[in-house]
């Protein structure tokens, strides 16, 4: 199936066109499986939905499934955590280990400000839309990180040329609804940055964050109305989550590396409050580690081999020889820099402030079911289950997911469940890069 790159104007022309029911042109049919609309609200912390009036989110919760919280992946930054959600892989497995990172084999840097579209940065993982398209179906992916990258030979079937932060959330919703309406896609993937922006600017405990939460709730109401208008509300499985939470920070809480290290000795990956330290001379590694290891009471420093296993963040070449990790509420800075933000993320994913929200609603899911907790790596096998796909090897598990499915879902045979669990186990035990 040829990839179709659509501009916003072309896609909005689809929105205004008459909705005509058609069959998927691939010859494959999803009659026995589900459709999925996967949505992430960047920075939507686990507790935001209950802090203010969010009737549309609670409509989904009442008639769907939710969890106390989702454990994000480490490090809790936007690009690496979104790639974990899409691939079911820990960051050490998919290799996208920061909003900034260095690859010693390529001798090249990837930064969020100068984003390379070279697939070599992404091809260690297989996102859900690539799995979907490799098995004969079509996807619409809008604004989501990596949606404009050719991964393992595939762009999303429908996409924007690049991320456009000026596009209102309801307009993004309008890009995907007609594609579901005429059965052009079985998978839609959307990203919204509203909550992250509000959390950074005003802090997670602010009235402005609650107001942003209400705006996002209005977006969900708009989505439900649009799906109902095209008679797809009872057909599409809506899955909503986030990449990370948010914590309060102060411009006074700064750990300044220049107070302890000569900057000429190293280069670095700046993922504040996490720094990857790359000694320019390997012989300086111990001296740099020793200089930082007891430098500040709110800084923890690891040699790569000693990074805690629970982070799943040591086995990839792009992870630095030394990792500096700040405590909750603290910044790592160079020179006399200060942060203008009142909220931040990137911290230890075990912190309550870094936990995220989850709800799923649709024919594949039970009504009013609540799970305790599950991991960001579990979303990929969840979506494969609903879509009836054989997953790529991943670190996820179906153990916490299967109780959420309705008895009528019928999206997986027992044999497929065995395949998924074997692949998950294989990846967990043996994957190395």
Instruction: Inform me whether the pLDDT recorded for 320 exceeds 90.
Output: yes
Dihedral angle computed from the Cα positions of residues 365, 369, 374 and 378, in that order, rounded to the nearest 10 degrees? 0
Task: Give the C-alpha separation, 422 to 417, whole Å.
Answer: 9
Are 376 and 285 part of one and the same domain?
no
The reported pLDDT for the residue numbered 9 is: 40
pLDDT of residue 398: 87
When pLDDT is averaged across residues 310-331 and rounded to a whole number, the result is 98
Q: Is 127 buried (19+), middle (13-18) or exposed (0-12) by CB count in 10 A?
A: buried
Integer Cα distance of 409 and 402 in angstroms: 11
Whether 11 is covered by a domain: the verdict is no
> Looking at the structure, do residues 296 and 426 belong to the same domain, yes or no?
no
CA distance 38 to 35: 10
Question: Does residue 4 form part of some domain?
Answer: no
Average pLDDT, integer, range 44-49 = 98
Asked if residue 187 and residue 51 are part of one domain, the reply reads: yes
The proportion of the chain whose per-residue pLDDT surpasses 70, expressed as a percent, equals 86
**What's the pLDDT score for residue 409?**
52
CA–CA separation, 404 and 282 (whole Å): 50
CATH number at residue 64: 3.40.720.10
Q: Is residue 354 part of a domain?
A: yes
Q: How far apart are CA 372 and CA 382, in angstroms?
A: 16
pLDDT of residue 373: 83
DSSP SS3 for 333:
strand
Paired strand residues for 266: 279
Q: Are residues 220 and 270 in the same domain?
A: no
The yes-or-no verdict on residue 72 having pLDDT over 50 is yes
DSSP assignment string, 36-89: EEEEEETT-BTTGGGTS--HHHHHHHHTSEEEEEEEPPSS--HHHHHHHHHH--
- Domain limits for position 63: 34-248+350-430
Same-domain check for residues 389 and 286 = no
Q: Is the domain of 331 the same as that of 412?
A: no
| Residues 238 and 267 grouped into a single domain | no
Percentage of the chain surpassing pLDDT 90?
Answer: 82
Are residue 289 and residue 426 in the same domain, yes or no?
Answer: no
Final residue in a domain of this structure, among 340, 371, 402 = 340
365: pLDDT strictly greater than 70: yes
Sign of CA dihedral 278, 114, 116, 247: positive
pLDDT in tens, 366-376: 999 998 888 99
216 assigned to some structural domain? yes
Domain contains 18: no
pLDDT at 43 over 70: yes
pLDDT score of 177 more than 80: yes
Query: pLDDT tens digits for 122-147?
Result: 999 999 999 999 999 999 999 999 99
Query: Which of these three, 320, 340, 360, is where a domain ends?
Result: 340
Residue range 373-417, pLDDT digits in tens: 889 999 999 999 999 999 999 999 988 889 999 975 544 433 344
Using alpha carbons only, what angle is made at residue 111 by residues 375 and 290, rounded to the nearest 5 degrees? 80
What is the SS3 assignment for 172? Answer: helix
Determine how β-strand 266-271 pairs with β-strand 274-279.
antiparallel
* Residues 9-37: tens digit of each pLDDT: 444 433 333 222 222 223 333 333 699 99
CA gap 284, 382 in Å, rounded: 45
Helix (H, G, I), strand (E, B) or coil at 122: coil
* 216-257 pLDDT tens trace: 999 999 999 999 999 999 999 999 999 999 999 999 999 999
Residue 427's contacts (CB-CB under 8 Å, 6 or more residues apart) are 89, 93, 393, 394, 395
Average pLDDT over residues 296-323: 98
Residue 6 covered by a domain: no
What average pLDDT does this structure show over 335-359?
A: 96
Q: Are 295 and 335 within one domain?
A: yes
Q: What's the confidence (pLDDT) of residue 257?
A: 96
pLDDT over 90 at 307, yes or no: yes
Helices 207-229, 55-62: axis angle to 10 degrees equals: 60
Q: Which value, in Å, is the radius of gyration of the alpha carbons in the chain?
A: 21
Kindly state whether residue 9 falls inside one of the protein's structural domains.
no
Q: Which residue has tokens 């709800």?
A: 359
Label residue 337 by pLDDT band (50, 70, 90).
Answer: confident
User: CA-CA distance, 286 to 303, in Å (whole number)?
Assistant: 9
Clarify whether residues 73 and 163 are in a common domain. Answer: yes
Rounded Cα distance, 76 and 81, in Å: 6
Residues 6 or more apart whose Cβ sits within 8 Å of residue 433: 92, 93, 95, 124, 315, 316, 317
Q: How many CB atoms lie within 10 A of CB 381?
A: 27
Q: At what angle do helices 207-229 and 169-181 cross, to 10 degrees?
A: 20
Residue 27 within a domain: no
Q: Is 410 left (phi over 0), alpha (psi -120 to 50) or beta?
A: left
85-126 pLDDT, tens digit per residue, is: 999 999 999 999 999 999 999 999 999 988 999 999 999 999
Residues 332, 396, single domain; the answer is: no
Q: Are residues 93 and 206 in the same domain?
A: yes
Total structural domains in the chain? 2
Confidence (pTM):
0.89
Q: Which residues are catalytic?
A: 78
CATH number reported for the structural domain that contains residue 318 in this entry: 3.30.1360.180
Match 């230890």 to its residue by tokens. 348
Q: What is the pLDDT of residue 31?
A: 37
Query: What is the chain's mean pLDDT, rounded?
Result: 89
Q: Which of 286, 313, 340 is the last residue of a domain?
A: 340
């Amino acid at each position: 199936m040829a990839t179709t790159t659509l501009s916003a104007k072309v896609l909005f022309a689809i929105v205004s066109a008459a909705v005509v029911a058609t069959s998927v042109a691939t010859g494959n049919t999803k009659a026995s499986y589900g459709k999925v609309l996967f949505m992430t609200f960047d920075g939507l912390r686990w507790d935001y939905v209950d802090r203010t009036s969010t009737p549309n989110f609670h409509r989904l919760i009442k008639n769907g499934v939710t969890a106390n919280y989702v454990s994000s992946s480490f490090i809790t930054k936007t690009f690496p955590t979104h790639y974990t959600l899409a691939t079911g892989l820990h960051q050490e497995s998919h290799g996208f280990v920061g909003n900034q990172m260095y690859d010693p084999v390529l001798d090249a840097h990837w930064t969020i400000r100068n984003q390379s579209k070279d697939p070599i940065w992404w091809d260690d993982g297989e996102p859900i839309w690539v799995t979907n398209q490799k098995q004969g179906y079509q996807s619409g992916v809008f604004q989501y990180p990596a949606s404009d990258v050719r991964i393992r030979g595939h762009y999303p079937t429908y996409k924007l040329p690049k991320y456009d932060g000026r596009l209102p959330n309801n307009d993004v919703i309008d890009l995907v609804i007609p594609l579901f309406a005429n059965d052009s896609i079985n998978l839609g993937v959307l990203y919204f940055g509203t909550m992250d922006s509000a959390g950074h600017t005003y802090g997670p405990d602010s009235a402005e964050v609650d107001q942003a939460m209400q705006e996002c709730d209005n977006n969900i109401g708009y989505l439900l109305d649009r799906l109902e208008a095209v008679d797809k509300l009872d057909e599409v499985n809506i899955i909503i989550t986030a990449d990370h939470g948010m914590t309060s920070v102060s411009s006074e809480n700064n750990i300044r590396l220049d107070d302890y290290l000569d900057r000429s000795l190293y280069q670095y990956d700046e993922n504040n409050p996490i720094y990857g330290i790359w000694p320019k001379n390997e012989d300086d590694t111990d001296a740099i580690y020793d200089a930082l290891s007891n430098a500040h009471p709110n800084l923890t420093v690891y040699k790569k081999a000693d990074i805690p296993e629970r982070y799943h963040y040591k086995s990839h070449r792009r992870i630095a020889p030394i990792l500096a990790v700040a405590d909750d509420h603290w910044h790592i800075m160079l020179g006399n820099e200060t942060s203008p933000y009142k909220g931040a993320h990137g911290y230890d994913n075990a912190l309550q402030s870094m936990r995220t929200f989850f709800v799923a609603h649709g024919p594949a899911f039970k009504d009013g079911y609540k799970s305790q907790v599950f991991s960001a790596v579990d979303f990929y096998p969840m979506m494969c289950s609903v879509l009836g796909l054989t997953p790529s090897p991943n670190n996820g598990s179906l153990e916490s997911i299967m109780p959420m499915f309705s008895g009528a879902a019928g999206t997986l045979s027992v044999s497929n469940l065995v395949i998924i669990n074997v692949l998950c186990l294989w990846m967990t035990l043996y994957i190395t890069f």
